[in-house]
A = this chain, B = another copy of it.
Amino acid sequence: MSDEIAENGTANGDVPEIELIIKASTIDGRRKGACLFCQEYFMDLYLLAELKTISLKVTTVDMQKPPPDFRTNFEATHPPILIDNGLAILENEKIERHIMKSVPGGHNLFVQDKEVASLIENLYSKLKLVLVRKDDQKSAALRSHLSRIDGLLERRGTRFLTGDTMCCFDCELMPRLQHIRVAGKYFVDFEIPTSFRALWRYMYHMYQLDAFTQSCPADQDIINHYKLQQALKMKKHEELETPTFTTSIPIDVSENSIAE
């Protein structure tokens, strides 16, 4: 386990202590990594810790050299991992469900809002498509999706997606917006248009919140996350090929033609 532990709330007998294990940066094992689900659950739980319904302990694990006790306990499982009262929850959907059903205060985060739910669900896959290669059509699809989110925020006039307090959808959307902003700009010069004023206001509010700033990876970690993904993808290509040896030559130099 890493030494970097963020504590919030009080670990007394009144509130349960929840531990969230998150991936460390691929640059510096002591920093937070650019793992979207880690940040999402970090934000959910941070909000609950602020409300003092739980005490939160966040542990970063460097997956490039996980400590022996991590390997013993979790083998090949990657963070996020939630630990509640000695029970480790390893799958994202189960973590979400556990926060909603079993963590004190959690049910308040899980607002029912079908419009918002369907509006944000495929946003991130559009970033992934844009990052594959600079392509005007894919950038336009991402921009158009952001425009619809901007439209909803404008129309509703609320500070956050479903009202003036944060909910699970904000914890899901904002880390992805940050990746779009930082990686989109770096890799394909994609920018969120300044005309999306309601969206920028939304981000402005997020940037003031501890739940976001405490959980947010550095720009360099976001960029490096996608660089490593691309490098692994590139490597895969050769790994799947049968080895070949280029030893043919493109001109006729048979023994006769080369004899002096």
Q: Are the CB atoms of A234 and B235 closer together than 8 Å?
A: no
**Cβ of A230: which chain B residues have Cβ within 8 Å of it?**
231
Chain A binding site: helix, strand, loop or mixed by DSSP?
Answer: helix
Q: Chain B's nearest CB lies how many Å from the CB of A234? A: 5
Known interface pairs A197-B253, A250-B194, A251-B197. Does A245 touch B231 (Cβ–Cβ under 8 Å)? Answer: no
A interface residues (Cβ-Cβ under 8 A, vs B): 26-28, 31, 157, 178, 181-182, 194, 197, 200-201, 203-204, 207, 213, 216, 218-221, 223-224, 227-228, 230-231, 234-235, 238-239, 241, 243-247, 249-251, 253, 258, 260
Q: Are A219 and B244 in contact (CB under 8 A)?
A: yes
- Complex contacts, A228 vs chain B, CB 8 Å: 231, 235
- Residues A249 and B204 in contact in the complex (CB < 8 Å), given A228-B231, A234-B227, A238-B27: yes
Q: List 21 A-B contacts (CB under 8 A).
A: A27-B235, A28-B239, A178-B246, A197-B253, A200-B249, A203-B249, A204-B258, A213-B245, A213-B247, A216-B245, A216-B247, A218-B243, A218-B244, A218-B245, A219-B245, A220-B239, A220-B244, A221-B238, A221-B243, A223-B238, A224-B235
Shortest beta-carbon distance from A184 to chain B in Å:
11
* Across the A-B interface, the 5 shortest Cβ-Cβ residue pairs: A218-B243, A231-B231, A220-B238, A207-B247, A224-B238
A157 to B, closest residue via Cβ: B260
Q: Which residues of B contact A258 (CB under 8 A)?
A: 201, 204
**Contact across chains for B249 and A207 when beta carbons are under 8 A apart:** yes
Q: Cβ of A200: which chain B residues have Cβ within 8 Å of it? A: 249-251, 253
